Structure 1
Amino acid sequence: MKKAIIKCVWAVLLPLVTSCSDEWDEHYGQGNPMASDESLWQALKERPELSNFVRLVENVGYEYYFEGDRMFTLFAPTNDYLTADAVDSLTEVYNTQKNNRVKNNDNTVVKQVLQNHMAMYNYTAIPSGDSVQMMMLNGKYSYLADGAVNGVKCLTSNELYRNGVLFTVDGRLPYFANVSEYFSTDADLDSIASFFSRYNVYEFDPSRSVPGEIVDGKTVYLDSVMNLKNVMFDELGYINREDSAYWMVVPTDRQWRSLYEEYKAYFNYDNTTAKRDSMENVMTHKAIIQGTIFNMNIQPSLNDSVISTNYNESNYRYYKCLRPFDQGGVFAEARNVTCSNGKVFIADDWVIDKRTTFFQEIKIEAENAYYRDSVAKCKEPVITCAVPAGNPLYGQVSGNAFVQVEPRNTAVTPLIRYTIPSVLSNIGYDIYAVFAPAIAADTLATDTLPLKVKFSLKYNDQDGKQVNDIKMKNPISGTYSYETVPNVVDTILVASDYKIPTCSYGLSEPQVRLTVESDRSTSKYTRILRLDCIIFKPHENDNNDSNE
């Protein structure tokens, strides 16, 4: 079992390290007479068997790392394992990327070769043979144990110099891409690599940078190390972190293009939406990605189901994949690649159902004032009624509460209007309104008449104008009125497979509004609205024509 990190460091860092034994501290600590006064760079240049490595360091201008005062542990491959031809080839790659303005820390020669052989601070092979975990300069983790580092044999070990420790090794240390890095290495994943790269930003990391002289009171850095930040990692999962364990299902370029063409119709924003085209593009791509990343440290039962990083217990029906390894499961058919912090599952046949991710039911609790747009012809404020625990209808009313809207006088019928958030465009919705009876709040209530009600809908057209209230036609009776069943919690189908042409998904300003109005025509009906909730549910067959 891998042990905790053991850092035996000199100078100021030495008192911070508590895991080394006192004997080990004394042997390798500050002022150890065995430590040479030479720098690592001087030692490298004096070793003929490391001349190729020295030439590579010089070709990329990296000498200052090994001749300064900062402490490093270096694993240098000898000439038998880093040939002159290999140095020429690596130098050509470095110069090509540099001429193409690739940042130094993204240059593959720097990141995957030089930084992959350097660890910050001083590490030494422990006589007991226990494993020592090291973070390399590129952020990767390596393990020093049994005379080898990541399986590459150490030819010489624990050579102490003024600013670090030198090992020589019989090969180049393997570089393992993490999940986010892997995209750019696979020709089938150019689309997803391009998507994530749009959001890359870099932040200066002074703790890993190499300081030079102080000019005008400010430190001039010989090498500025930049840490990658990406807003999509914040939203979806830190697939770039080496100390994580993520599995991600990714579409090939062919599948990416197919999904984009299918999904973009659901994100048709009206023409007045700020940065409309960008909004459509981003939301469509996020719809593809959401639900594809799984933090393997928090899976309750891997064979039964996996939950993605977008999963929310309060909305448990979404972002959860059942039987992931069974035929048709999310991991079953995909080609998988092991990365330094998890796995990438490459899928040309997409099995993540949109109905388990962004194709979601929208449910508005009527008692939630946040979604209440307006009321009219009613007593104000409207009343929220609770369903007591002992009531026979307890548990049948959503949230065990409903809103009660009473008419202002005997001559009017009250109405209430709600905003409906995050509506997708061109998707058929089945629209429901759920009503509670008076006895849900009071079993002795005398208002036991049915309710006659009508509905109307407003939304933005393509030009951004709110259409006039569209009267909803009862899909069962064909009329413009609906009737509840008395003394039960009654769910009314307001419209079936109704498509709205513009999208409001992700917008702060509401665009879709549903009005509920009492429509009493005789004394056989109550005029009081007792509304439990409103539901917009994706139609089972969203390809059907609608709004008929």
Structure 2
Amino acid sequence: MKIKNIVYQLAGLAFATCPLAIVGCTDWDDHYEGTDDAAGAGNVTLWQQMKADSRLTDFCEVLENTKVFRQHKKTPVSYAELLDGGQAFTVVAPVNGTFDKDELIRLTQTNSGDSVVEKSFVMNHVSRSLCSVTAAQSKMLLLNSKHVEMEGNGISGVDLLDKNVHAKNGILHVSEQPLPFVRNIYENVCDLDEFSDIGDFLRVYDEDYFDADASVSSGIVEGVPVYVDSVIIERNKMLSVIGLINDEDSTYWMVAPTRDGWNKAWEMAKQYYRYDSKVLKSDSIQHYWTNRALLDDAIFTMTTQESVTDSLKSVQYNKLEPKYHVFYKPFEQGGILSNATEVECSNGILYKTAEWPFTPETTFFTELRSEGEDQALITVSKDCNYTTRRVSADSISEGAYLDIVALKATSNWTMTYRVNNTLSAKYDVCAVILPKSVADKVNPDLRPCKFKATINYVDELGNKKTFNCGNTQFKTDPLKVDTVVLAENFEFPACNFDQQDIKISVQLTCSILPRENSEYNREMYLDCIYLRPRTSKSEE
């Protein structure tokens, strides 16, 4: 059993959600109004006050044995010493017999165990704010960044035996049991064994960040800034991309399959990220993007949701592409949360599922477009001139197209476009051609354009391959927006996702004979090259 799980169980800490509070802690002066402290209590420190209370000997022993960590390093300073000093704190002290003192002290004998006891127990009962309990609802920020609600005669649902007892360096509340330690979503995913595969991936990206702006500088020595007080911030680079589920000041939902469901989905998803053997560190890249494929749409910030019963927009949602990263009727049969179990967290809800409740087509296996007007994607242009033209119409992708004109009346031009971010999967490879009425609504040229197409790609070994699209000659429809399927159900053997070296391209070649000039027109209005995903591998 993991050390974190041991302390959560043996310390007798319950798990519940902290409701949002309405009012924050008040000023120091307010704490002395209508309090219940004994006469003269304000002349001793919090530590002296607790040591003198026979009900708090267990808590005091834990404080004496728990060291303060700074920048992930154990210091020689105990929490007993900290609370006996000049800094101001609010302490909620649980009475004897309500937690496993011996187990907590045993854990403090190792650095890892001490760190767990500090965060989940000691820091869960101490705040740097000066907070008194009044009839009005308020909240207190604990040292471990958890928020607890204070109201009437209780804190976070725990009744107080004594409240608002003042010391010269803070406020003491005596509770009838420990305050519940409530994991946030990130802590649940990382600490619970059933989500260990997800947690192991995310934890790799934990790091310490030096905040120069918040640090106190003593000047510059030999051109190098020197700091007397360095502020180090813990952060996770991966969470900054997929969703800050470790943030106690925000509210998130996350969908997480348990181990068997995650592994099943992972084996399915990794087939889409098979890179060719010439890609450096291809196994590591495959591992990274497989995890991202399953996690990118699994997190939802609740500040952007309009109606959660109607739809959920993941953190990846972009209003410029509204068809992606949105999941409708999530709680109804077939919805992503229809078979989920809620796990209450300090910053939202973790929805536990037996299976990954998404499909590749609604998450990572999406349509790909190379816009005709994006001239940066053109790798070959031969025997033609081309011009980007813009027009406002719902049927035209990105409101622009490329007007391709042959250099001579008998020239058969060639245009080759790179296609980015293909997966090792099957697509319908298409070209979207616009009608001539886009440019001339009165007297459009009604002659179609005739052309051939080839697909350039690489196999699993990185060898260049060319597929002639059935040696077929395609004809455009001059009267409508025409999606010409160049290759149906075409499979790319190797993934080319997120690569600087783009190995996939589609080439169009005009194929009109001189004697066919009266029947065909060499001018083409190319809207885009379009790759349409086919059946997911999980359904084949």
Contact 1:40 1:67 in 2 (8 A): yes
Distance 1:519 1:206, change over 3 A: closer
Note if 1:62 corresponds to 2:79.
Answer: yes
- 1:328-343 equivalence runs, <5 A: 328-343=334-349
Match of residue 453, structure 2, among 434, 452, 455: 455
Note if 1:481 corresponds to 2:473.
Answer: yes
Cα distance in 2, alignment partners of residues 330 and 371 from structure 1: 37
Cα distance in 1, alignment partners of residues 444 and 457 from structure 2: 38
Match of residue 516, structure 1, among 485, 508, 522: 508
What is the identity percentage for the equivalent residue pairs of Structure 1 and Structure 2? 28
Cα distance in 1, alignment partners of residues 537 and 32 from structure 2: 73
Partner of 1:172: 178
Contact 2:361 2:536 in 1 (8 A): no
Contact 2:404 2:523 in 1 (8 A): yes
Q: Deviations over 1:334-384 (max 9, x none)?
A: 2221111111111113321111000101122211223222311112xx212
**Structure 1: which 5+ runs fail to align?**
10-22, 210-216, 474-478
Partner of 2:280: 274
Partner of 2:313: 307
Match of residue 255, structure 2, among 243, 249, 252: 249
Aligned pair count reads: 494
Partner of 1:8: 27
Contact 2:25 2:130 in 1 (8 A): no
Note if 1:109 corresponds to 2:117.
Answer: yes
Q: CA deviation at 1:80?
A: 4.4
Distance 1:465 1:68, change over 3 A: farther
Q: CA deviation at 1:89?
A: 1.1
Contact 1:453 1:519 in 2 (8 A): yes
Secondary structure in structure 2 of the residue aligned to 1:95: coil
Note if 1:295 corresponds to 2:301.
Answer: yes
Cα distance in 2, alignment partners of residues 325 and 27 from structure 1: 49
Partner of 1:493: 485
Q: Deviations over 1:448-486 (max 9, x none)?
A: 21111111111233343433x43211xxxxx43111123
Q: CA deviation at 1:446?
A: 5.3
Contact 2:390 2:399 in 1 (8 A): yes
Question: 405-414 or 111-120: which moved more?
Answer: 405-414
Secondary structure in structure 1 of the residue aligned to 2:432: strand
Contact 2:417 2:506 in 1 (8 A): yes
- 1:171-210 equivalence runs, <5 A: 171-203=177-209
Q: CA deviation at 1:204?
A: 6.1
Cα distance in 2, alignment partners of residues 161 and 337 from structure 1: 38
Question: 257-266 or 42-51: which moved more?
Answer: 42-51
- 1:48-447 equivalence runs, <5 A: 48-60=54-66, 61-82=78-99, 86-96=100-110, 98=111, 101=112, 107-126=115-134, 129-203=135-209, 219=228, 227-379=233-385, 382-387=386-391, 394-425=393-424, 427-445=425-443, 447=445
Cα distance in 2, alignment partners of residues 179 and 208 from structure 1: 27
Contact 2:268 2:538 in 1 (8 A): no
Distance 1:194 1:543, change over 3 A: closer
Partner of 2:75: none
Secondary structure in structure 2 of the residue aligned to 1:462: coil
Secondary structure in structure 2 of the residue aligned to 1:443: coil
Give the aligned CA root-mean-square deviation in angstroms. 2.7
Amino acid at match of 1:62: Y
Partner of 1:15: none
Contact 1:249 1:344 in 2 (8 A): yes
Secondary structure in structure 2 of the residue aligned to 1:285: helix
Question: 273-282 or 402-411: which moved more?
Answer: 402-411
Contact 1:56 1:87 in 2 (8 A): yes
Contact 1:518 1:528 in 2 (8 A): no
Distance 1:367 1:506, change over 3 A: same
Cα distance in 2, alignment partners of residues 81 and 386 from structure 1: 72
Secondary structure in structure 2 of the residue aligned to 1:403: strand
Contact 1:311 1:318 in 2 (8 A): yes
Contact 2:452 2:511 in 1 (8 A): yes
Amino acid at match of 1:110: E
TM-score (norm 1): 0.84
Note if 1:531 corresponds to 2:505.
Answer: no
**Structure 2: which 5+ runs fail to align?**
1-19, 67-77, 216-225
